[in-house]
């Protein structure tokens, strides 16, 4: 039998490297990170490092050590309506290929072993360890396995066996930058055409832009339809999508009742669920990594590998409470029926709501702690729906 390691982390993205970094901080040295890709490798993502992501990097002892474009303004648009919202702390836009490779280098510098081009094909949970088989034929064993392997996570599949869910869809491409300068664009106009989400255009450090669409699974749209919405939406901003088209990617939205742990197994990052409202995954991944690292270190210290408290710990942490609030809002803003129009009027046309979210993006406010304030604001605006509807109709005429 293979030597039993303390922890094997499957996946070397921000969730996996974040977990490894936290384990190192907690004094756990027998850690192996495996990933099926060779780094640098790309991943469809908006690439925005919010204030929460910056704080999580600091807590993990990691650095932003790659070229990035700081953006201190978010432009929110629906039809002809547009509002610019200043951010107290800029969002740093990165390329995932560069950023993820940098995180791998940083944890390797700590002494963590990272093995790339090695895909986990099978795992089996025993009484004393988890056995894993790589596509190279190598056998591994670990007291704890952390699934940081994204939407196709082998650990998530094991935990969610028999469950059926519809994923979010993201389509992303890099293009010549629009004329919006350093501002980040969030355009909800394509919701008129059936999108349940938004189009984004985020500036990159070299004058290009990361562009894409996020679609919430309340309705079904195929890949060609989403690419068309991205192409047409960008054309309204004077940006041309390249002939090769955008790359598509599924992503699981967070749900508080989805299984995230079992005996000797944890999930983090995309494997546990992204932000259903915004699609944000990097900050979530890093914050999950810190929590999972603490849970794994605690299990090694006590010998209790059931991880019975891990789901509750995730839910009660800031990241879990923020994810749950955004899940609630996404179900309303991105609903399939006509009610989405009222929620667009409430959430997008209201300066107070946008300022609250800007503070959350900057990392200066925990919106879940301001839930009553947010709901009261929405309730006041609900009573003003007649005027909001006229504004909405004017924006779409």
Q: Lowest-confidence range among 27-41, 50-64, 174-188?
A: 174-188
Mean pLDDT over 122-126 rounds to 95
The confidence score (pLDDT) of residue 178 equals 57
| Same domain for 273 and 131 | yes
| Same domain for 289 and 175 | no
pLDDT-derived band at 331 (thresholds 50, 70, 90) equals very high
At which of 288, 321, 354 does a domain end? 321
| Same domain for 239 and 379 | no
Residue 326 lies in a domain: no
Q: Are 143 and 5 in contact (CB under 8 A)?
A: yes
Mean pLDDT over 104-130 rounds to 97
Gap between the Cα atoms of 296 and 305, Å rounded: 8
| Same domain for 339 and 303 | no
At which of 236, 251, 266 does a domain end? 251
Residue 15 lies in a domain: yes
The structural domain count of the chain equals 3
Alpha helices in the chain (DSSP H): 14-25, 51-60, 96-109, 154-159, 223-235, 282-302, 310-316, 318-333, 340-347, 351-362, 371-383, 385-396
Q: Are strands 184-187 and 69-78 parallel, antiparallel or unpaired?
A: parallel
Range of the domain at 381: 333-396
Residue 79 lies in a domain: no
CATH number of the domain within which 100 lies: 3.50.50.60
Mean pLDDT over 218-222 rounds to 85
How much is the CA Rg of the chain, to the nearest whole Å? 21
Q: Find the angle CA(320)-CA(100)-CA(142) to the nearest 5 degrees.
A: 70
Q: Lowest-confidence range among 180-184, 206-210, 326-330?
A: 180-184
Structure tokens at 20: 């490894």
> pLDDT > 70: what percent of the chain?
94
The confidence score (pLDDT) of residue 124 equals 96
Mean pLDDT over 31-58 rounds to 96
The confidence score (pLDDT) of residue 392 equals 67
CATH number of the domain within which 217 lies: 3.30.70
| Same domain for 246 and 149 | no
Gap between the Cα atoms of 386 and 392, Å rounded: 10
Mean pLDDT over 331-339 rounds to 89
pLDDT-derived band at 142 (thresholds 50, 70, 90) equals very high
At which of 251, 271, 296 does a domain end? 251
Mean pLDDT over 256-281 rounds to 95
| Same domain for 246 and 261 | no
pLDDT-derived band at 194 (thresholds 50, 70, 90) equals very high
* Dihedral (Cα; 74, 46, 281, 141), 10-degree rounding: -160
Residue 86 lies in a domain: no
Q: Is the confidence at residue 107, as pLDDT, over 90? A: yes
Q: Is the confidence at residue 386, as pLDDT, over 70? A: no
pLDDT-derived band at 54 (thresholds 50, 70, 90) equals very high
| Same domain for 11 and 114 | yes
Mean pLDDT over 292-308 rounds to 99
Residue 374 lies in a domain: yes
Mean pLDDT over 146-175 rounds to 87
Residue 297 lies in a domain: yes
Residue 365 lies in a domain: yes
| Same domain for 274 and 186 | no
The confidence score (pLDDT) of residue 180 equals 57
- The candidate with the shortest Cα–Cα distance to 211, out of 174, 261, 259, is 174
| Same domain for 390 and 350 | yes
Q: Is the confidence at residue 348, as pLDDT, over 90? A: no
Mean pLDDT of the chain: 91
pLDDT-derived band at 277 (thresholds 50, 70, 90) equals very high
Phi, psi values for residue 49, rounded to 5°: -95, 100
Q: Is the confidence at residue 253, as pLDDT, over 80? A: yes
Gap between the Cα atoms of 23 and 219, Å rounded: 40
| Same domain for 198 and 56 | no
Q: Is the confidence at residue 383, as pLDDT, over 80? A: no
Q: Is the confidence at residue 202, as pLDDT, over 60? A: yes
| Same domain for 385 and 310 | no
Mean pLDDT over 189-203 rounds to 95
Q: Which residues of 355-368 are buried (b: 16+ CB within 10 A; e: fewer)?
A: ebbbbbbbbebbbb
| Same domain for 40 and 59 | yes
Per DSSP, the residues of 103-148 read HHHHHHHTT-EEE-S--EEEEEE-SS-EEEEETTS-EEEEEEEEE-
Residue 209 lies in a domain: yes
């Amino acid at each position: 039998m293979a030597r039993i390691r303390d922890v094997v982390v499957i996946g070397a993205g921000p969730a996996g490297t974040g977990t490894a970094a936290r384990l190192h901080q907690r004094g756990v040295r027998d850690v192996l990170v495996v990933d099926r890709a060779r780094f640098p490798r790309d991943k469809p993502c908006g690439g925005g490092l919010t204030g929460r992501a910056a704080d999580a990097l600091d807590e993990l002892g990691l650095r932003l050590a790659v070229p990035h474009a700081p953006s201190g303004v978010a432009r929110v648009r629906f039809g002809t309506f547009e509002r610019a919202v200043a951010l107290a702390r800029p969002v740093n836009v990165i390329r995932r290929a560069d950023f993820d490779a940098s995180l791998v280098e940083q944890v390797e510098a700590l002494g963590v072993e990272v093995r790339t081009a090695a895909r986990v094909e099978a795992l089996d949970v025993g009484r004393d360890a988890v056995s894993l088989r790589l596509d190279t034929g190598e056998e591994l064993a670990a007291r704890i396995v952390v699934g940081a392997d994204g939407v196709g996570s082998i650990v998530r599949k094991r935990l969610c066996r028999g469950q059926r869910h519809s994923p979010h869809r993201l389509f992303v491409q890099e293009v010549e930058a629009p004329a919006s300068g350093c501002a980040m664009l969030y355009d909800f106009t394509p919701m008129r055409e059936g999108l349940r989400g938004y189009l984004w255009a985020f500036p990159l450090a070299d004058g290009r832009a990361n562009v894409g669409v996020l679609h919430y699974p309340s309705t079904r749209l195929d890949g060609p339809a989403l690419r068309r919405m991205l192409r047409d939406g960008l054309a309204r901003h004077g940006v041309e999508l390249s002939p090769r088209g955008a790359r598509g990617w599924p992503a699981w939205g967070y749900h508080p009742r989805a299984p995230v742990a079992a005996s000797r197994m944890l999930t983090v990052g995309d494997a546990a669920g992204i932000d259903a409202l915004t699609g944000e995954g990097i900050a979530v991944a890093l914050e999950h990594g810190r929590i999972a690292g603490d849970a794994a270190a605690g299990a090694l210290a006590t010998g209790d590998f059931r991880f019975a408290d891990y789901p509750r710990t995730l839910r009660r942490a800031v990241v879990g409470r923020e994810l749950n609030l955004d899940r609630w809002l996404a179900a309303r803003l991105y609903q399939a029926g006509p009610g989405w129009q009222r929620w667009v009027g409430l959430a997008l046309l209201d300066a107070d709501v946008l300022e609250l979210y800007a503070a959350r993006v900057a990392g200066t406010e925990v919106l879940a702690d301001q839930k009553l304030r947010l709901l009261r604001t929405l309730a006041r605006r609900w009573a003003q729906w007649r005027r909001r509807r006229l504004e909405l109709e004017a924006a779409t005429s």
